[in-house]
A and B are shown apart, each in its own frame.
Chain A
Amino acid sequence: MNALKLHRILEQNTGLLIFGILFISSIGGLVQILPSLNDETLSTPTMNTRVYDAVELTGRDIYIREGCHVCHSQQIRPLVAEVERYGPYSRSGEFVYDRPFLWGSKRTGPDLHRIGGKYSDQWHETHLLNPRAVVPESIMPAYPWLSERPASAAGDIQRKMQVLQSMGHPYSPEDINNAEAALQGLTEMEALIRYLQMLGTSFDASQADAPMEGM
């Protein structure tokens, strides 16, 4: 067979084999990833989506540090039951300031994308300190250390905002200058709750761009 003969050349030459593997394996990525990275609709914020302020950003990084995304998704799929359970389905434009994305791959606990405003701050605090105090059947770990640490200890907030600004997040110089002051006196617990309370609130159903598709 001719193709097999051709292949014989390939399999006798290290450089050609390396190049062949690299070439063949990159095609799929090029076709899928490059158009997605250039897809404007994926990087255009919805009308009410805004950057995280200093406290919310700190809270988000604590959320990442504790691995909340391991058990909680932040992605409401456009399914009837899911919308009924959690709220309006997630739009790509809501995530444009999410670095990294936190959609998750497992729902051991419920989805959190629209958790903001559903419970009081006090509820969240009790829940994070002892989940079973408010949800008896919960299997969530407790996070007692969050209320002991100052929010300002969770990383250099000004540097964080500068890095994000360099990637196009619209922070003003005042935002960055006032960042440290904003964290003054807050615990990590409070910062995390601030983040949870703003989750999903940037989407206003009345301004929904399109009705739900027939999914």
Chain B
Amino acid sequence: MQKANFFYPLFRPGLIFTEIAKGNAFSSPALAFMLPVLLILPPLFLWLGTGMFGWRLGSASPLYMENTVRLIISLSYFGALCIGFFGTVYIAQWMGSTYGVKKSSRAYFSLLTVVFFPITVASIAHIYPNGFFNVLILLPTLIWCMSLLYRGLPVALEIPPERGMLMSTSLVGWLLVGAVSILGISVGLWTVGIGPSIAV
């Protein structure tokens, strides 16, 4: 699809899912360009934000971190996103056999790229790293992503909507577990002294 420009997934998701199913949307080179950009956006925004405005938790005074700490946090954020994304693609492919999907991995990559597109763009909220501000922006976006997943998965992977519903729910389960793992791992890291300074 020649019109698959960068922001297409944001505005015409319905159309793009059928194109993914036909194998038209996102050639491998297009994916190869798009994926790294999308994955690097959130950590980049975070890096910029923590530098410009400092880390703001609640109403308290901002927390400025050293450059190396900022870099480490942004890089590990990038790492977590990569693991999260590729892990999700892998898990989705693994689940696919249970739900009768017969598509190549390109379809999975394209589908999940479209699904996660809004949240990566919305991560521009990181530029002002205030906890609640980010929650306020990212939470509705996340629910949008979820509806994209439920709507798009059966279309893009060409399975009946009922099986698509089952598979999407399984994926949501996996994503929730993944999210809470990231939460747990970061808290564990703070406790052993990596990250914000806490006294335990």
- Complex contacts, A80 vs chain B, CB 8 Å: 199-200
How near does chain B come to A105, taking the closest CB pair, in angstroms? 18
How near does chain A come to B45, taking the closest CB pair, in angstroms? 30
User: Which bucket holds chain A's interface residue count?
Assistant: under 10
Q: Identify whether the interface residues of A are mostly helix, strand, loop, or mixed.
A: helix
How many contacting A-B pairs (Cβ < 8 A)?
9
7 further contact pairs, Cβ within 8 A, besides A84-B199, A215-B200: A79-B199, A79-B200, A80-B199, A80-B200, A81-B198, A81-B199, A81-B200
Q: Identify whether the interface residues of B are mostly helix, strand, loop, or mixed.
A: loop
Q: A: which residues have CB within 8 A of B?
A: 79-81, 84, 215
User: Which bucket holds chain B's interface residue count?
Assistant: under 10
- Complex contacts, B198 vs chain A, CB 8 Å: 81
- Complex contacts, B200 vs chain A, CB 8 Å: 79-81, 215
- Contact code string B166-200 (vs A, CB < 8 Å = 1, else 0): 00000000000000000000000000000000111
How long is the Cα–Cα vector from A105 to B128 in the complex, in angstroms?
33
How long is the Cα–Cα vector from A80 to B199 in the complex, in angstroms?
5
- Complex contacts, A84 vs chain B, CB 8 Å: 199
Among residues of A, the one whose C-beta sits closest to the C-beta of B59 is A137
- Complex contacts, B199 vs chain A, CB 8 Å: 79-81, 84
Q: Which 7 A-B pairs have the closest CB atoms?
A: A80-B199, A81-B199, A79-B200, A80-B200, A81-B198, A81-B200, A79-B199
Between-chain CB contacts (< 8 Å), 5 pairs:
A79-B199, A79-B200, A80-B199, A80-B200, A81-B198
